[in-house]
Amino acid sequence: RYFINLTQPEIAAQLKKNPLVILPAGSVEQHGPHLPTGTDIYAANVISHAVAERMDGLVLPGGPLGVTPMHMPFEGTITLSPETYQRVVVETGASTAQHGAKRLMILNWHEGNIPSLAIASEKLHRDVGMSVIVVQACYVAAELYGHDCGGLTHGGEIEALAVLAYINLERKGIPMFKNLTGGLKSHTTKIGLLALAGVIGHTLTTVSSGGPVDWKEVGLGAVVAVLGALAKDNAEPAKP
């Protein structure tokens, strides 16, 4: 399912079979003292994997960086300008289109990327001819599980569960993550103290046992969101 793990003939055959590519979008930014700075891109990759399984698509090597100037006061944050990020997304999509990809699904887990992704997706559709849909995967997860996890918060339970899911899927046994799997401490921070701790919300110790989130269901929710958007577009009369 992963573009960078396949050979050129395998990619060519898959794009001929199903010209769908999936781009995970996230960021590298501080998530407090308990989560890695790659939390957002890890979450996007977990959901991309689930969607690729259901829709028989290729997961592109989405760069981990995003647009996150609001977190630059904290060490551990790397931000791109909106213009740079848009160009990376456009050139990534255009490259795959040259090789036969016709549909691009962008699965985003970082709110700071939303305006840039809207601009980039429109440009890919207009200039390259790709069908592009951007799914705000973090909102899908919040809608499905926010009531059990205290909502979608920065460094909160849903994001902690996403990191654990990524560990189980791709990085289990890597020493840099062993401290996370041993149990995550509880951190509660009011919005007014964000400058001190970098966290909004609760990270519960119970998440170390797996927690309530089924990430395949989140992936299915992303697919449903895409199908709903397509149905809405097809139902609406064309604008003059």
Distance CA 140, CA 137 (A): 5
pLDDT, average across residues 40-64: 90
With bands split at pLDDT 50, 70 and 90, how would you rate the model's confidence at 80? very high
- pLDDT value of residue 122: 95
173 pLDDT higher than 80: no
178 pLDDT higher than 50: no
Closest-CA residue to 135 (of 3, 12, 17, 25): 25
179 pLDDT higher than 90: no
With bands split at pLDDT 50, 70 and 90, how would you rate the model's confidence at 1? confident
159 pLDDT higher than 90: no
pLDDT tens-digit profile of 91-150? 999 999 999 999 999 999 999 999 999 999 999 999 999 999 999 988 887 787 777 766
- pLDDT value of residue 12: 97
90 pLDDT higher than 60: yes
- pLDDT value of residue 84: 98
